Chain A
Amino acid sequence: MLRYFFIGFTLLLLLLVSMTGLRGWKSKRPPLELFPDMVRQAKYKAQTESSFYADGRAAQAHATGTVPMGYSAPQAKFADSNSSSTDLAGPYKNIQFSGSPTYRETGRMGTQWGTGIPFEVTPSIMQRGQERYNISCAVCHAATGQGNGIASKYGLNGIANQHQQRIRDMADGEIFNTITWGKNTMMGYGSNIQVPDRWAIICYLRALQRSQNATLSDVPDAEQKKLNR
């Protein structure tokens, strides 16, 4: 009798396991929530759906003429100096996108493209620029800036070589504008790269450009010794 029980029991167990699978098996079924108390609440989280609004998004685009919470308020007057260097004290503490008409956020001084970095350039800014360049720009423009990044190998044409004279001569403000809004086939990166990072990228780009036309005398003494060795 016990034998029949064990045979039946094993078969039942096999049946159940074949239905449920083991831990870690891939499944298309949404995870079961066994104790669903308050696990899903009537609130919106970032980038979630909403059945309330017609476009189905919980996060609505901000109404024209308003400033979202946590964003810097647009400034009324045109600034043409390095006046905004103070807000860099905490550049990554709050996300800084705004419609402010300053040089720092448009690259324009009056009606012209301005040039210069609107805050003090330090080695850490340069490193930040390098990091951001390699994340967002190198995919197309390549780590060297020569425009033969990985995307060019997959059929993306017309990538600008950053070492051409036209771009070497281009005003910083115009490059800023290109990063923000794009140009020709390049889409704008304004929605992906924050304002201080765009300037940091420009700093690094300038260094890249210089590096391609450098002579030995441009290299600091300490580094020269390493090269000569």
Chain B
Amino acid sequence: MSNFFPRWSNLLPLKLLVCLAVIGCAIVGGIWYYFTPKYTRVGYQPDQPIPFSHAIHVKQLGMDCRYCHSFVEVSGHSNIPNTQTCINCHGQGKVKWDSPRLAPVQESWKTGRPIQWIRIHRLPDYAYFNHAVHVNRGVSCYSCHGAINEMAVVYEAKPLSMSWCLECHRAPENFLRPPSEVFNMDWHPKSFDEQLKVGTKLKQEWNVNPPVTCGGCHR
């Protein structure tokens, strides 16, 4: 009876336990790491019908965001410019009209059908975000879109998850900037202390009190 189980089986339960623990940790770690918009959303960079470069138009030419996104200060939705806005500069006989890369602009201008841009930043349909209230109260484009002025091809830079929104809604002083610098993508506070000083001042001046209740964003 003494050798019913071989010797190696003595440690088997312990070894199995170790294996299961490691697998369990890997699953939990994997879910923590991957099942979040920090992984699923950030870095989404689809091919657009036109390889429009914000780096050229904003960084190199110094155009203002609002030349194209002209209603971002008055509308909840930041408008994708109409084709005519492209044609202002890229019209017949103007800048790069004949470029094959701009063929969809030409086609849209001739047919009247909009250019089929691919939407990158998409909130869930039950979240209501208003661009105007944010940019008019010192939340820069940079805060949510990252360094879009340096992107040759736009990608999603921030997770746009609820916890990420709440980071700012709970402590706006960490992000607010002077209204004159909202559309200046190159403005960065020199230190966190300076940010806190500017942010706290603006928060008090404007009585910024972002909603952290459900009804603030979900209606």
Contact = CB atoms under 8 A, between A and B. Distances in A.
B74 A27 contact: no
A214 interface: no
Residue of B35, B37, B89 most packed against chain A (CB within 10 A): B89
Nearest to B84: A187
Given A30-B46, A38-B125, A45-B77, A156 B64 contact: no
Contacts of A189: 88
A39 B79 contact: no
B89 A156 contact: yes
B45 interface: yes
Given A188-B84, A192-B85, A9 B22 contact: yes
Contact of B70 (A34, A140, A193): A193
Nearest to A93: B74
B64 A135 contact: yes
B80 interface: yes
Given A56-B113, A139-B89, A187-B88, A95 B71 contact: yes
Size class of the A contact interface (CB-based, 8 Å): 35 or more
B15 A23 contact: no
A48 to B, nearest CB: 8
A27 B77 contact: no
Contacts of B94: 155-156, 185
B37 A151 contact: no
A120 to B, nearest CB: 22
Interface in B12-53: 15, 18-19, 22-23, 26, 30, 33-35, 37-47
Nearest to A59: B114
B91 interface: yes
Interface in B127-147: none
Nearest to B63: A139
> Interface majority SS on A: helix, strand, loop or mixed?
loop
A30 B89 contact: no
B18 A151 contact: no
A225 interface: no
Contacts of A150: 61-63
A92 B77 contact: no
A65 interface: no
B66 interface: yes
Nearest to A192: B70
A77 interface: no
Contacts of B26: 9, 13
B134 to A, nearest CB: 15
A151 B124 contact: no
Contacts, number: 124
A46 B71 CA distance: 12
A156 B114 CA distance: 24
A5 interface: yes
A57 interface: yes
A53 to B, nearest CB: 12
Contacts of A191: 82, 84-85
Contacts of A13: 26
A220 B15 CA distance: 88
A64 to B, nearest CB: 16
Residue of A43, A154, A188 most packed against chain B (CB within 10 A): A154
A20 interface: yes
B217 interface: no
Contacts of B125: 38-41, 43, 45
Contact of A92 (B47, B61, B74): B74
21 contacts: A2-B18, A22-B39, A23-B42, A27-B44, A28-B44, A31-B44, A31-B156, A33-B40, A38-B126, A39-B125, A39-B126, A46-B76, A95-B71, A95-B75, A139-B63, A154-B95, A156-B94, A188-B84, A189-B88, A191-B82, A192-B85
Interface of A: 1-2, 5-6, 9, 13, 16, 20, 22-34, 38-41, 43, 45-47, 49, 55-57, 92, 95, 134-136, 139-140, 150-151, 154-156, 185-189, 191-194
Q: Ordered nearest first, which 10 A-B pairs have the shortest CB separation?
A: A46-B77, A41-B125, A192-B70, A39-B124, A135-B64, A31-B41, A26-B45, A23-B39, A187-B88, A32-B40
